[in-house]
Amino acid sequence: MSKKVSAKLEDYEVLGVIGTGTFGTCYKVKKKSSGHLYVWKAIKYGSMKEDKKQLLVSEVNLLSQLKHPNIVRYHDRIIHKEYATLYIVMECCEGGDLSLIINKCKRLGTKCLVTEAFVWHVLYQTARALQACHWHHSATILHRDIKPANVFLDSSGNVKLGDFGLARVLESESGYANTIVGTPYYMSPEVIKGNKYNRMSDIWSLGCLAYELCTSSPPFTGSNIKELARKILDG
């Protein structure tokens, strides 16, 4: 980073990059005053239209109101105009995400077995997170991108659902159809048909997540989007 950073950014020490996705880079950071660990997601908004910038900020403000034990806690947001970047400061989940577990099972085969109890544990706690957001008093918040990489575990094994609500803003800004969002393997039938994304679309994705936890493979696969969509519609 440049030395010309705001005081807000200077409150944190960047420890390393966790991962880079379509819409930004995640860093593990430490707050200098307390030593507490956090994750921040850096989202560049320079190429966004003004209305999308405002929508992104309002979405993050809404997410900051979500206080639930099974949702990754949003602690703060930092808008850095020089970098044209929004930094979203979030809870750090030391247990990693479910994609790490699934990938390990793929490597080890039968040597790695996800227990039925663990699958139920993930399902129950993720469903609690969805319930809290689907029926939030301020607005219905849809996740739109439930997948192993967005479901985390803290150091005690509690399930935390992350990246809530951001997909709607970021996907539409980057040119995706407003209904076709999230992970293609987890697309619901109504989304494929062009209908509006709704609460049940999130529930469908949760079922796909459970299937992949049990088998280390998504329930539907295809060599291209058209083949995948046909298989999902055929059931």
pLDDT mean for each 10 residues of the chain (235 residues):
57 91 82 93 86 77 84 89 89 94 88 88 97 80 88 96 66 44 80 89 95 94 91 92
Whole-number pLDDT of residue 49 = 84
Whole-number pLDDT of residue 65 = 80
- The 3-class SS string of 137-205 reads CCCCCCCCCCCHHHEEECCCCCEEECCCCHHHHHHHHCCCCCCCCCCHHHCCHHHHCCCCCCHHHHHHH
Contacts of 156 (CB under 8 A, 6+ apart): none
Q: Which of 91, 90, 99 is nearest to 122 (CA)?
A: 99
DSSP conformational letter for 113: -
How far CA 109 is from CA of 39, 74, 81, 90, 105, in Å, comes to: 31, 36, 48, 33, 5
In the chain, CATH 3.30.200.20 sits at 7-91
In the numeric block, the tokens 């109504």 are attached to: 190
In the chain, CATH 1.10.510.10 sits at 98-234
How many CB atoms neighbour CB 20 within 10 A? Answer: 11
Measure CA 72 to chain center.
Answer: 9
Whole-number pLDDT of residue 83 = 86
What token pair was written down for 132?
Answer: 């809290």
CA distance 190 to 211: 19
CA distance 178 to 62: 20
Whole-number pLDDT of residue 166 = 62
What token pair was written down for 83?
Answer: 């970098």
* Catalytic hit among 97, 145, 163, 202: 145
Contacts of 151 (CB under 8 A, 6+ apart): 97, 98, 122, 126, 159, 160, 161, 162, 209
Whole-number pLDDT of residue 229 = 93
Fold classification of 98-234 (topology level): Transferase(Phosphotransferase); domain 1 (1.10.510)
Selected from 3.20.20.140, 3.40.718.10, 3.30.2130.10, 3.30.200.20, the CATH number assigned to the domain covering 7-91 reads 3.30.200.20
51 is catalytic: no
